[in-house]
Chain A
Amino acid sequence: MLQELKRSPLYLILFAVMAIMLLPFFWTVTTSFKTPQEAQSYPPTWIPKQLRWQNYIEAWNAAPFGRYFLNSLFVATATAIGGVITSVLAAYAFAKMNFIGKNVLFYLLVGTMMIPGQMLLVPNYLTIVKLRWYDTYQALIVPWVANVFGIFLLRQFFRTIPDELWDSAQIDGCSRFRFLWQFVVPLSKPALVTLFLFRFIGSWNAFLWVLIMTSREEMRTLPVGLYYFIGEAGTDYHLLTAAATFAMMPIIFLFLVAQRQFIQGVARTGLK
């Protein structure tokens, strides 16, 4: 007890910093329930006088947010699944197979990590147009299914699986491909879940790429839809905060459910 008391300044600092970190979220959610008058009142109120769910309905109807939401969900899910599949295959080759040019290809991958993604926007835009993928889901998914960080993460994980397992499977007449899906993949579930979550969030949060590669309203994802909504809503903060809340909530929910995987994933690899 005395020990805890001695540490009370530490708690005070921690609590203050945490409050600052979370204040924007608190403020967003509370404002999303205020009436238009209350949202623009000064001085602002900390707790809404009444819960106005109407804001969510109004924001949802003011722009096709339902469509944006489904687009985000579809694009992020497809990108994440595709990313896991390509990474599993490539990582397995790097971790457990011998082939000509292995080092060269590996350093090629390491090299790409230095390239700022934005540098490639212009040529990629021209490629997308040439493929006639402009304004399609392919344009939002396919370029992002290969992921160097994912390959590194899984390669590290696969290397911990003992070779004896493969040797005995081989004696039983198991093909390498079957071995990969029936033994390696189930054993690596935590790493695969981590990778899936990171790819999902990365895709869900993407902005500039979607802004450039699409023009039709039906193709917009939540972040791009939200951007156009700022222009329409102006200072209608009760609607803007409602829209921001439902763009953030799925990701925050996902994070809270799987926070252990996330934090360990980041701590281990610095994965982005």
Chain B
Amino acid sequence: MRGRRLRKVIGESLEAYLYLLPAFAVLGVFTFYPVVRAFQISLYRWPVIGPKTFVGFGNYLKLIGDREFWMALRNTSYYVLGSVPLTLTLAILVAVLLNSRIRGRVMARVAFFIPYITPMVAATVVWRWIYDRDYGLLNYLLEILEKALRHLGLAVNLGPVDWLNQPGLAIPILIVIGVWQYVGYQAIILLAGLQNIDRQYYDAAKVDGANAWHLFRHITVPLLTPQIFFLLIISMIGAFQLFTQVFILFVGNPGPRDSAMTIVFYIYEKAFREFYMGVASAAAYILFGIIFLLTLIQFRLSRRWVFYGG
């Protein structure tokens, strides 16, 4: 009897492994193996052609002494700190707006979601032109604003701004693109959370004399914290990997005077332009380490503020 059960378990296991094989074979070769392999490469001086020499943590030390790498860390952190809270705050406002009883909600949801599914490269080509100093839409809008203000008696000089060529503006204009692209996606996830909130909570609070701000602050936000937490993690991981927008906006360059050099751009440049695979892998591992640590911290902190049902 026991033998038969064991045989059944083994039989079913073998069949299950067969079902898992295609997915795990691909994941094995292109995800699990490279995680280990990247670490190994990071310990070597690894030119594409020629002998590989073991250097221990030499590549990591080299990175610590590299001004450009620090610049990449700084720029990336700036982008993360700017785009993540801004996008999330706006997404909460949009979600609340979309959750109110108004007409045309379906259309609005579609409109907000389109930037998220649009090919990033095509979208960034468009932004490149919006930011153009001479023909760009943004400077034109600034000019209209300037004229309007002048009519009101305020003489201000707003432009034209050379958006794409000022080191101080590189990260801010990337943040704007990021907000535009992800605010709708985040709002949709938050909206799903909002729709799950039991109306009874609001009714009960209103009986107790709560105003709109109280309802938002003490019911909506706490009950939305699981979605907010999820988005915080996802968008942080995404923001740390900023690359394509930079690459397209500045046509293959890391912005004026490297002002938009990000960690992934640095990795790309080291690996595929200078062919230092070892240094690039070490940088990749540092990026992984940062993301891993911050995610861990977020999870720890989440116990204090994320509210999972009552």
Chain A interfacial residues counted at CB < 8 A: 96
User: Quick one: which of B139-154 are within 8 Å of A by CB?
Assistant: 140, 143
B230 and A115: CB pair below 8 A? Answer: no
Give 1 or 0 for each of B88-113: 1 = CB within 8 Å of chain A CB: 00000010010011111000111111
Q: Which of A120, A127, A212 contacts B35 (CB 8 A)?
A: A120
A119 and B117: CB pair below 8 A? Answer: no
Q: How far is the CB of A87 from chain B (nearest CB, A)?
A: 7
Give 1 or 0 for each of A231-257: 1 = CB within 8 Å of chain B CB: 100010100110111011001100110
Complex CA distance for A100 and B20, rounded to whole angstroms: 12
Q: Which residue of B lies closest to A245 (CB)?
A: B122
A162 at the interface (CB under 8 A from B): no
User: Quick one: which of B1-41 are within 8 Å of A by CB?
Assistant: 9-10, 12-13, 15-17, 19-20, 22-27, 29-35, 37-38, 41
A17 and B94: CB pair below 8 A? Answer: yes
Among B16, B26, B180, B272, the most chain A Cβ lie within 10 Å of the Cβ of B16
A47-55, A165-173, A187-195, A222-230 - interface stretch: A222-230
Q: Which residue of A lies closest to B100 (CB)?
A: A10
Q: Which secondary structure dominates where chain B touches chain A?
A: helix
Chain B residues packing against A (C-beta within 8 Å)? 9-10, 12-13, 15-17, 19-20, 22-27, 29-35, 37-38, 41, 94, 97, 100-104, 108-115, 117-123, 125-130, 132, 134-135, 137, 140, 143, 180, 183-185, 188-189, 191-192, 230-231, 234, 237, 240-241, 243-244, 247-248, 251-252, 264, 267-268, 271-272, 277, 280-281, 284-285, 287-288, 291-292, 295
A86-B26, A97-B12, A125-B272 known; 16 new pairs, CB 8 Å cut-off, are A23-B137, A27-B130, A44-B137, A99-B12, A117-B241, A119-B38, A126-B41, A127-B30, A205-B117, A207-B121, A222-B122, A247-B119, A262-B117, A263-B110, A270-B230, A270-B231
Q: Can you name 30 A-B residue pairings with CB atoms under 8 Å?
A: A14-B108, A21-B114, A21-B115, A24-B126, A40-B134, A100-B13, A115-B35, A118-B243, A121-B267, A121-B268, A124-B34, A201-B117, A204-B119, A205-B121, A208-B268, A226-B121, A226-B125, A230-B251, A235-B132, A245-B122, A247-B119, A248-B118, A252-B118, A255-B117, A267-B188, A267-B191, A267-B192, A268-B192, A270-B231, A270-B234
